[in-house]
């Protein structure tokens, strides 16, 4: 019989946290420096449904859920990248600071159109 090889446990000291806060949900991905995902969580996966997914409390609890998985791997230092205009973006950053991790950078990567699409034609009545 063939034995399965044991799973290799990664030890990650530095990482990046990507927070995508939309009007309906908040997605948190924690990666290592190369960009490989260590852990992730959403407001929906942490048990919230419907309009409660878009609340700051749901965002904070999803962030804590993702950080608990990453802290088990030895995460100590992080860079935070926030994207989107949802209500959970500030609550997610506050949840990160409450864990005691060393934050080296906080960057807002929300896409902003420089000119945008062509406007609609005026309405004829």
Q: Which domains does the chain have, with CATH numbers?
A: 14-108 (3.30.420.80)
Share of residues in the chain with pLDDT > 90 (%): 72
- Strands 77-83 and 14-21, how do they pair? parallel
Cβ atoms within 10 A of the Cβ of 33, count?
12
Query: pTM of the full predicted structure?
Result: 0.83
Average pLDDT over the chain, rounded to an integer: 90
Asked whether 11 and 73 are in contact (CB, 8 A), the reply is yes
Q: Which residue has the higher pLDDT, 13 or 106?
A: 106
pLDDT of residue 43: 92
Tens digits of residue pLDDT in 74-99: 899 999 999 999 888 999 999 999 99
Q: In the predicted model, what is the mean pLDDT of residues 11-39?
A: 92
């Amino acid at each position: 019989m063939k034995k399965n090889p044991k799973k290799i446990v990664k030890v990650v000291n530095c990482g990046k946290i990507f927070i995508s806060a939309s009007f309906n949900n908040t997605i948190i991905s924690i990666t290592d420096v190369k960009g490989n995902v260590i852990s992730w969580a959403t407001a929906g996966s942490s048990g919230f449904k419907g309009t409660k997914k878009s609340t700051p409390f749901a965002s904070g609890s999803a962030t804590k859920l993702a950080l608990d998985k990453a802290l088990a791997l030895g995460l100590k230092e992080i860079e935070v990248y926030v994207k989107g205009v949802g209500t959970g973006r500030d609550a997610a950053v506050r949840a990160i600071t409450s864990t005691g991790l060393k934050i080296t950078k906080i960057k807002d990567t929300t896409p902003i159109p420089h000119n945008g699409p062509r406007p609609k034609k005026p309405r004829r009545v």
